[in-house]
Each structure stands twice: as C-alpha cells, then as structure tokens.
Copies of this chain bind each other. A is one copy, B any other.
C-alpha cells in the first residue's frame, strides 16, 4: 500500500461515528499508516479501534489512547469531531459554552504537546466558533487551523444536480461562504449548470424562483434533513470532506471547496473571525481571498460575518475567548 506520508495523524473523537469513519477512511484513502485514535470514552474507543484493526490495513500502525498528551505528541495532523452533542433541555448557549470550552482546551493542548502541528481541522459545532477558539489558544499561525465548510456547497451542488437531473459534477462553481448552515452566504453568480450560468436559469421554466428558494432552504436545513431521514446526524460526508482537506496539505494536490480560515483584515472589515472564504489549501495550510460576487452576495457575506462576530463576542463574554485586544498576547501569530 502506498501511503502519502508516514506522519502522525490524530483523530479526536475517534469513538464516535464521524471519528471512527475518519480513521477507516484515512487508511483506505492511503493518507498515512500512522493514525492515533483519541477519545475520552474508553470503551467505545477500544471497540472502534478493534474494528479498524480487524480491517487489517497493510503496514497500519493504529494506536488508541484516552491520554491527550500521548495522542498529540509528535502529531503533524489532526481532525477533531470531539465536541459534545446538544442534549435534551440544553440551550444553544449551553452548547456554545460547552463546546468552545472543549475547543479552548484543545488549543491549549496543541500548544503544549503539538506545537509543530502542520494542519488541524475542527468540525464540531458551531465549527466556525470552535475553530476560531482553537486557533486563538493553540498559538499556531493563521492557516494552520481550518474548519470544514464544504458541506453547504456540496449540498447545494447535490440539490441542483437532482433538480436538473444531471450528474453532480456537471454543476460547477457551487459556492457558499461565511458561516456554516443557516448562517451561510450563497454565491450563485458564478455557478454553472452543464455549462450555462445558474443565474440565467433562475426564474425560468427550468428553475422557478420558488424552486430556487426551496433548494436554498433545503441546503440550509441539510443537516436537519439527514437527521430526519436517517435518525442520526450526518457523519459520512463530514468525515470524507475533512480528510480531503488533510490530504490536500499532505499531497499538495489542492482541495476544490471553500474552507473556514482565520481572517483578520481591517481593510475589508472582516476582523478576528473564522469563516469560509475563497481558499487555497496546500502544504503550508490555508490561504484566503475575498470571494468574487455581486452586491447581493457581498452583502450576504457581511451579514454572515456579523452573525459570527456576535457569536464570537458571546464566547468572549463567557470568558472562554480573551477580549479581542488580548489575542495577540495569547497567540503571537495573530
């Protein structure tokens, strides 16, 4: 088996559906044989690790541990799906506090045990904010931590392909930016349907305004729809797309979707935030540029930014993130 690298990849939350899928897929996609599974839930972790061993991947060196120091030591890559899910009776604020506290601790653990991390992907909700929190506390440079933002775009691509009855890859340049899910900013102006501009089709017999609105709503509720259909949260597509992000850093072959990245650009007014921009992903991590779009799209992006900034400020008020003016002291790379 040809693996891209021998570097250590840590999967945090490896006992869960996403994390165990990621471990299997990292090996079957040939990323690295050196995978460490971490989860505080020891019993489930052992069960997931046994499953991976029973797959018998050639040359695999799969380890598992409940000790975060052991997990992170020597790690060059990590993906964390290890947040707590929202439970009955929990408010949105409870979830935000709980998961950003996990993210803050992860950032501190990275600083202590994996300061040479090449790239990390944060995918537990709300990922824009947990990713930002990890970035600040990790001490790492911008671009070394990213969040999974592709699923809004791939869901839009899927919904359009199904509407038009065409193969998925005939829907090109499908792009959403900003925050994930309900906060997303859709950029339809450059999308093409079998080569034809999508915006030329909206409002015609082929795609009425009503149908377009329905598609957008379906994409925004994409995660909820999976829960309704499967009785559980989406886990396969987050796993696969997160691994493609790591793969792009490992092999330098690029990644075709927008990612969430640390943005601090007073010139454009997007400051101290993590959000999906037009991004490139390579051996040095993420770099970003402002997406091209018309006024309506740019306004949607700014609105998405304002929403994220409000969430960020809530987390600062909770004491989980330091006040903005202290960020460069906590992380000299910011």
Tell me which residues across on chain B come within 8 A of A157, comparing CB atoms. Answer: 56
Tell me the interface secondary structure of chain A in the complex: helix
Q: Give the distance to chain B from A124, nearest Cβ to Cβ, in Å.
A: 18
**How many positions in chain A have a CB within 8 Å of any CB in the partner chain?**
47
Contact across chains for A169 and B50 when beta carbons are under 8 A apart: no
Q: Does A60 contact B (CB under 8 A)?
A: yes
Tell me which residues across on chain B come within 8 A of A277, comparing CB atoms. Answer: none
Contact partner, A168, options B44, B53, B236, Cβ 8 Å: B53
Contact partner, A56, options B46, B52, B61, B154, Cβ 8 Å: B154
Counting chain B CB atoms within 10 Å of each CB, which of A162, A229, A231 scores highest? A229
Q: Does A226 contact B (CB under 8 A)?
A: yes
Tell me which residues across on chain B come within 8 A of A175, comparing CB atoms. Answer: none
Copies of this chain held together in the complex: 2
Contact partner, A226, options B28, B51, B162, Cβ 8 Å: B51
Per the bound structure, the CA–CA distance linking A162 and B61 in Å amounts to 12
Contact across chains for A229 and B154 when beta carbons are under 8 A apart: no
Per the bound structure, the CA–CA distance linking A300 and B163 in Å amounts to 58
Per the bound structure, the CA–CA distance linking A44 and B231 in Å amounts to 8
Q: Does A58 contact B (CB under 8 A)?
A: yes
Q: Does A192 contact B (CB under 8 A)?
A: no
Tell me which residues across on chain B come within 8 A of A240, comparing CB atoms. Answer: 24, 28, 55
**CB-CB contacts of A124-165 with B at 8 A, as 1s and 0s?**
000000000000000000000000001100110110011000
A sample of 9 cross-chain residue pairs with beta-carbon separation below 8 angstroms, ordered by A number, consists of A24-B236, A24-B240, A47-B225, A47-B230, A52-B237, A54-B234, A55-B237, A55-B240, A56-B168
